[in-house]
A and B are shown apart, each in its own frame.
Chain A
């Protein structure tokens, strides 16, 4: 029982930290760069992807035994495209402004490599509850990354956050396309730095433990 719980927690958590789709796996870069001109857009896109990812993971996992191996990719794409179109229609109907500002990137969730990637690598091989947790975790990891990037770009580039005016100091560059690449590049370096530090610390600890053991002997 304990082990099961741990396993479930790990399945959920890894998408947010150690296998973060944006900073570690570099997947789904197009919407990441394109819609993050404002924090709210990043959040909206992230949530839309989370919903599609979780639902498609569940369905793919449910039908995984009824899918012939040769045509699995077209079938997965059909499942994903169905959910994306549903989200598109629902957002158009009930969240008009957000729908308008995300524009072409809603239909493009279909080709967001995170979703097909998780369907192929995880959901098609694992039972439903793990697949759902994996989708949720990856989705939240993606949403947080987008929200962070969107916040930084909005604060530096437009002097506001979530639409709230902060100050008049604006650096246009961060809102423009080059700013997207460069901010994401520096964020990736930062998370990479944290990872390297952590690994070094772990290594030092292991070494110290070894030395202590050697001394004892």
Chain B
């Protein structure tokens, strides 16, 4: 009995020292970690706000930074689109440039091993919305070499510039297209089968998360205005 007590006390002492050391490291790296997370998000945002045709930034860099800095805590909203359970991760960001409205949203849908997290920019111009471009933020649960290839630029570019007609029909990857003869973005079909050989589930998750973000944008953000 005495032994157990002694061992318990010794173990507790060690645990306390460990916790103290860790607390110290945590406090001293806290800001750097926050910066690293923010800068990752900033890079992604810069990417989706870069015009995919001209390669120029559509929004002032400083403005992006300001919005990011003052965006507050993240909040997750669960959302379903045609039987797929996904998420929209708030806050969303809104930019007004030359009469255009640009919305940046983050959404997620289940992929192969877990959620695939996608950031997307939607542009509203002359009363019409289109998907500008996307950036996959997290696909770490996907199979390396297969689904995880979605992290590369090539596959992500395939999702750039989907017009409203395509978004209304719902974005699908070419393998899931009901009408195999239609392979264009105005019908919501995105070709990925050639660039992501052997992986359908991950790009499908990206398509789903786009649909979820679009439906959220339509209902919750633009709900009132016409």
- Chain B interface mostly helix, strand, loop or mixed? helix
Contact at A70–B3, with CB atoms within 8 Å? yes
Total contacts A-B at CB 8 Å: 69
Contact at B7–A79, with CB atoms within 8 Å? no
The residues in A between 64 and 85 inclusive whose CB is less than 8 angstroms from any CB of B are: 67-68, 70-71, 74-75, 78-79, 81-82, 85
On chain B, the number of residues with a Cβ less than 8 Å from chain A's Cβ atoms is 28
Contact of B198 among A78, A86, A101, A172 (CB under 8 A): A172
The answer to whether A210 has its CB under 8 Å from any CB of chain B is no
Contact at B143–A75, with CB atoms within 8 Å? no
- In the assembled complex, the Cα of A119 lies from the Cα of B3 at a distance in Å of 24
- In the assembled complex, the Cα of A96 lies from the Cα of B32 at a distance in Å of 10
Closest chain-A Cβ to B32's Cβ sits at a distance in Å of: 4
Stretch in A14-22, A87-95, A137-145, A185-193 touching the partner: A87-95
The answer to whether B145 has its CB under 8 Å from any CB of chain A is yes
Closest to B35 in A: A93
Closest chain-A Cβ to B201's Cβ sits at a distance in Å of: 15
User: Known contacts A81-B18, A89-B25, A172-B197: does B7 contact A68 (CB below 8 Å)?
Assistant: yes
Closest to B137 in A: A100
Closest to A93 in B: B32
Contact at A103–B29, with CB atoms within 8 Å? no
- In the assembled complex, the Cα of A75 lies from the Cα of B11 at a distance in Å of 7
Cβ–Cβ < 8 Å partners of A124 in chain B: none
On chain A, the number of residues with a Cβ less than 8 Å from chain B's Cβ atoms is 28
Contact at B145–A158, with CB atoms within 8 Å? yes
The residues in A between 143 and 171 inclusive whose CB is less than 8 angstroms from any CB of B are: 157-158
Between A71, A78, A93, the greatest number of chain B beta carbons within 10 A of the residue's beta carbon is seen for A93
The answer to whether A50 has its CB under 8 Å from any CB of chain B is no
Contact of A92 among B3, B33, B39, B146 (CB under 8 A): B33
The residues in A between 88 and 119 inclusive whose CB is less than 8 angstroms from any CB of B are: 89-90, 92-94, 96, 100-101, 103
Q: Which residues of A does B touch, CB under 8 Å?
A: 37, 67-68, 70-71, 74-75, 78-79, 81-82, 85-86, 89-90, 92-94, 96, 100-101, 103, 157-158, 172, 175-177
